Amino acid sequence: MRRSRHYTLKTAIHGQIADAVTIRERQVCVEDRAVPGHWEGDLVFGSGNSQIATLVERQTRYVMLVKLDGKDSQTVVNALIKHARKLPQELQQSLTWDRGTEMHAHKQFTLATDIQVYFCAPQSPWQRGSNENTNRLLRQYMPKGMNLSGLSHHQLNAIARQLNERPRKTLGFRTPAEMSSACVALTG
């Protein structure tokens, strides 16, 4: 079989995650944002091999920022497990992620948190639209080229608080913090 001169084994296996559950297998209530507790996640990269994980709740657009010491699968999954355990049980439903190598240990995350991980189609960032939009807003606080490893947990929480207290047109000009509080009050 003839291959492109740019073909490599790395590009051939990129995006292939063992036992990945695709986004098509999610429940309908996830797609229409009817039930809280379904999250979208991604990594935001900075200079100097620095990165943070962003988690956005689909219904309320509530943002959590997770400090990472590396982008390897074990580091990312351990940090996500730590943050997921802080959530009320009602807000631990599912997580939708892209096909990056950082989530190859998704089974470990699911076993530790009982949160099912779904994966987007390859090169389809619009399938996590809330997260991509939030990452764009996040760049107002963390411009491209900024070294993110210098940010403390306190600074990341302050940035997340600013995003969560920012009125959103899609929420009828209510804030994600207001929406999240209302959801927790209804479910708890």
58 and 38 in contact (C-beta within 8 Å)?
A: yes
State the residue for tokens 């009982």.
114
Q: What pLDDT digit, counting tens, does each position of 123-157 carry?
A: 777 778 788 889 999 999 999 999 999 999 999 99
Model-level pTM?
A: 0.86
110 and 117 in contact (C-beta within 8 Å)?
A: yes
> Which residues 6+ apart lie within 8 Å of 141 measured at CB?
159, 162, 163
Domains of the chain are 18-187 (3.30.420.10)
pLDDT tens, per residue, the chain with 188 residues: 566 666 555 555 555 778 788 888 877 877 878 888 899 999 999 998 999 999 999 999 999 999 999 989 999 999 999 999 998 888 889 999 888 888 888 999 999 999 999 998 887 777 787 888 899 999 999 999 999 999 999 999 999 999 999 999 999 999 999 998 887 776 65
Q: Which two tokens stand for residue 119?
A: 């994966």
Mean pLDDT of the chain: 86
